[in-house]
Amino acid sequence: MIKKINLLILTLALVMMANAQQAFVKQAAQQFTIAGKPYYFIGANYWYGGLLALEKDPVKGKKRLINELDFLKSKGINNLRVLVGGEGEGKINGVDRVKPALQPKHQIFNEEILNSLDFLLMEMAKRKMYAVLYLSNNWEWSGGFLQYLNWNGQIDQDTLQRKLTWDEQRDYTSKFYDCDPCKTDYRKQLDFIISHKNSYTGIKYTDETAIMAWELANEPRPMRATAIESYKSWISSTAAYIKAIDQNHLLTIGTEGFMGTEENFDLFKQIHSDKNVDYLTIHIWPKNWSWFKEAPTKENLPVVIQKTNEYIQQHEAIAKALNKPLVIEEFGLPRDGHSFDPALSTQFRDEYFQSIFSNWKNSEKMKGAIAGCNFWAFGGSSRPVKGQLFWKDGDDFSGDPPQEEQGLNTVFDSDHSTWKVIRQYTKK
């Protein structure tokens, strides 16, 4: 009898393992699949999602997270792009950075950050949602590469804290790829993350089906042409390293596309042709790229949409040539009149989102390479503080990171017209 019970337990365990294995998101040519079936998604950037469970106030913390995940699920959103954790503390490049940090001091890690991310992943798994987790940042708002350079003597503290010119930022950040101790530090943080076991479920991150992919960093750029070869080498070696310790999850780089690879389509294609890179990404920022001046208007929106369509199509052609999926994983537009007030209209943003979702839907119909979209960014129940432009410690996290005006690109849960557009596509 005992042998039969043990055999039954073993059989159930094997079935559970098989089912878990089927639940991982996989790549098959230009598609993502789950259990052999195509997986197309409209998702959201939810960079702060892994930090909410840290809040002592449940209304701002776990309760808020649960409510927001329920809201997203009800709108058909099943993919979230999330920051794993930041590096360092204090001012950086003249702005406050995300806090609390995963690595507040050099090589000292705060495991509570991952325990908070554990809660997010557990709740996402309950709702059959999938996370893309990015491991660091090209930009200062979470510490990122500039902080690694500071810890290893490439940038002094005063320079790190003051506002850099664009040329200075490019010069300094590009040094990351030739800074061996910086890259070693990055890998130590990577090891700390990937070897973690969920404190709620006991599941190792390498076995966590709620994780779709690891992303090397948010928008890693060479920043200078002189860094391109080192940049390519770092991507290749890091991708191979991650795949060697985690065969279950997809891997991507996190690039913006042409605008983030020194305006070089060949470089974009080269880095994504790596056998360990499973899919391509692009980001689209019409305001940052000066596709319009001051604010989106009825007059300039058609040009913005035209440029966006061209940008998408150019990169989809590369994805098709590489026979890999493409994800439009960041795109945003300010509210009408460049307002930060959630009460004001999002008509032009809604039209812009609809144009991008149409590209995604048409590609699916034509068996193209565009497999997913993640708009920037979900702000949930947060609201900007009246009379205050930038985030301060103690404020609710929102879609706009600390260095940006709160309400600039955030999609709030109250943006009913935007959600109506999103739902038109997700319900199909």
Determine the pLDDT at residue 23: 87
Write the DSSP assignment of 68-104 as a string of letters: HHHHHHHTT--EEEEE---B--S-BTTBPPPSS-SBS
| pLDDT tens profile 10-52 | 434 433 444 444 489 999 999 999 999 999 999 999 999 999 9
CB 92 within 8 A of CB 146: yes
Do the domains 282-428 and 78-278 match in fold? yes
Distance between CA atoms of residues 346 and 379, nearest Å? 15
| pLDDT tens profile 53-77 | 999 999 999 999 999 999 999 999 9
Distance between CA atoms of residues 54 and 195, nearest Å? 21
Question: Is beta strand 31-34 parallel, antiparallel or unpaired with respect to 25-28?
Answer: antiparallel
| pLDDT tens profile 356-405 | 999 999 999 999 999 999 999 999 999 999 999 999 999 999 999 999 99
Strand order in the sheet with 326-331: 250-252, 211-215, 130-134, 79-83, 41-45, 370-375, 326-331, 280-284
Q: Measure the CA angle with vertex 172, ends 166 and 178; round to 5°.
A: 140
Determine the pLDDT at residue 397: 96
* 109: number of Cβ within 10 Å: 18
State the chain's mean pLDDT as an integer. 94
Domain ranges of the chain: 78-278, 282-428
| pLDDT tens profile 287-315 | 999 999 999 999 999 999 999 999 999 99
| pLDDT tens profile 161-189 | 999 999 999 999 999 999 999 999 999 99
When pLDDT is cut at 50, 70 and 90, the band that residue 222 belongs to is very high
Determine the pLDDT at residue 132: 98
CB 264 within 8 A of CB 286: no
Q: What is the pTM of this model?
A: 0.94
Q: 78-278: which CATH architecture? A: Alpha-Beta Barrel (3.20)
Q: What are phi and psi of 388, to 5 degrees?
A: -135, 125
Whether residue 5 is predicted with pLDDT greater than 50 in this model: the reply is: no
> Minimal CA–CA distance to 130: which of 73, 79, 84, 203?
79
Whether residue 334 is predicted with pLDDT greater than 70 in this model: the reply is: yes
| pLDDT tens profile 114-138 | 999 999 999 999 999 999 999 999 9
Distance between CA atoms of residues 331 and 374, nearest Å? 7
What pairs with residue 82 in β-bridges?
A: 133
Distance between CA atoms of residues 187 and 178, nearest Å? 14
pLDDT (average), residues 404-426: 98
* CATH classification number, 282-428, choose in 3.10.20.440, 3.40.50.720, 3.20.20.60, 3.20.20.80: 3.20.20.80
* CA-CA-CA-CA torsion sign (367, 369, 371, 375): negative
Determine the pLDDT at residue 2: 53
When pLDDT is cut at 50, 70 and 90, the band that residue 158 belongs to is very high
> Minimal CA–CA distance to 230: which of 252, 254, 262?
262
